[in-house]
Structure 1
Amino acid sequence: MKITASGQTKPELSSVDRAAAEWAFEHGEAAGRGTNTLTASDWQFRPLKTSLGTLAVLGLRSPSGRDAVPTKRAALAESLIDQAALAHERLKLETDMREMEVVRQRDSLRAALLASLSHDLRTPLTVP
């Protein structure tokens, strides 16, 4: 699993934290502190789910050691996480589309080259 962090320092995750992150990714459900799964983790991991499946996991940690997302703000947090997932999906789809365009152009050039070579091989050489 690749860890990408936003902030001044990259967080160090314990083996329990990593297990919670991996579980959240594999099962598409929240894990860690404040959930019913792997509650010993200091972090709460929430999957970024889209129509493509789980694209990533967002890790949240409260500096005070309490739940990362208070109950009264859970709906707002879910909405923000859903928006992040959609943005992530859009970036992935745009990247895939660019890659497909490169492949299409390469195939088009290959076809043009083969057509040109085929024509040259079928055309007899004439010497003046």
Structure 2
Amino acid sequence: MSLTSSRFPYIQVILRVLNNIFKVEALIDTGFDGDVTVPPEMILNGKSPRGYLPWTLASGTKVNAPYFLGKIKIGKFKPFNVLITALGDEPLVGRGVTDKFKVIFDHGRKVVIEL
């Protein structure tokens, strides 16, 4: 089983968090050790987070960002639990997700995800 995205380096994912479902294109960020980030306005909306996680951004800035428990579904692969952090200005999928798969970046044209 595999998923191919021609929108390099993005993949389409379905996130379930706080009884909401979001279908988004997420940037694969191999420098991000966490699971998933989404823009804060996408999920905060007055909801209390599960907690806060410390992160060091690419700029070296240290921040504490709210996180929620959720699920991610990629293509036809089975959904699994992830920590979804409210941070940044676009959805990111990090190594906490990609390390569960074989990820092929094919010459800057497409991304292939395999088990």
Report if TM-score (shorter chain) is over 0.5.
no
* Structure (1 or 2) with the greater helix fraction: 1
TM-score for both structures, normalised by structure 2: 0.28
Indicate the structure (1 or 2) with the bigger Cα radius of gyration: 1
RCO higher in structure (CA 8 A, sep ≥6): 2
* Structure (1 or 2) with the greater strand fraction: 2
